[in-house]
Amino acid sequence: MKKSSFSRYRFPAVAAVITGKVSGRTIKKAVSEGAGLLELRVDTFGQRGIRPLVESIKGIRKIKGARAVPLIITVRKMEEGGGAWISDKERAAIFKALMPYAGLIDVELSSARALKEIIRLAKKDKKAVIISHHDFRKTPAEAGVRRIIKRALSAGADIVKVAALAKSAEDIKTLARVALDYKNLIVIAMGETGVLSRVFFPALGSLITYGSATGSTAPGQLKLKKLKKELGFYGII
């Protein structure tokens, strides 16, 4: 990966997940609580017009302190936890319109073929591409997780994100082994059993951990302030 893609960012990092109606108060709160990244879950914004979305992003960039915080643009498909059903064509148009404001984009592995032009455009514009996989039912066998990573890299990922529901200590161990074996990976064990992964997996090499600035978007996701406190207590970030 070219140096300009994401080596300018400091990892591990905490991303504040921004959902629903974007307000200056929410963004200021996320920045003041130490968010290193802002993940804009555009699928939850409730506004689908390109112009209002662009104006919303421009508004974020005018908020004191927020200009220096890189944005992850995410338009999550409903099948992987998205907030609304949006066609691939419409998602592509949203990604393209918001690309100039993004530091990173997040595209699901299951959408990589449909959004391959967006991945190509992001690379051309030197934006880091996160290709993600979410399993809300289980943690796949370790061999399966490794196949997911291989497929995501083949699809053009700069960073691969694997988030899977953990039901046991063995699931945590599976994901921890994977986190130790790869570079440029985000690994999250979702659910109550996996809460500790959001604090300790960054110590194993996972690049980003996510905290909610508004409502939780995944099982076991911690509030941003609490997550930062825990990470600081253990000297991880």
Catalytic option among 134, 226, 228, 229: 134
User: Of 77, 133, 161, 228, which one is the catalytic site residue?
Assistant: 161
Q: What percent of the chain has pLDDT over 90?
A: 85
Using DSSP's 3-state secondary structure scheme, residue 82 falls into: coil
Peptide bond into 12 cis (omega under 30): yes
pLDDT in tens, 112-140: 999 999 999 999 999 999 999 999 999 99
Provide the token pair at 65. Answer: 């302190």
Contacts of 205 (CB under 8 A, 6+ apart): 179, 180, 182, 183, 185
- Whether 1 shows a pLDDT value over 70: the answer reads no
pTM recorded for the entire structure: 0.94
Question: Is the pLDDT assigned to residue 52 strictly greater than 60?
Answer: yes
Cα separation of 37 and 80, whole Å?
21
Joined tokens for residue 148: 């997911």
d(CA 211, CA 188): 12
In tens, the pLDDT along 173-223 reads 999 999 999 999 999 999 999 999 999 999 999 999 999 987 777 888 999
Q: Taking CA 17 as the corner, what is the angle to CA 14 and CA 22, rounded to the nearest 5 degrees?
A: 135
Catalytic residue list contains 134: yes
| HEC string for 25-69 | HHHHHHHHCCCCEEEEEHHHCCCCCHHHHHHHHHHHHCCCCCCCC
Active site residue 133: no
pLDDT score for 5 = 63
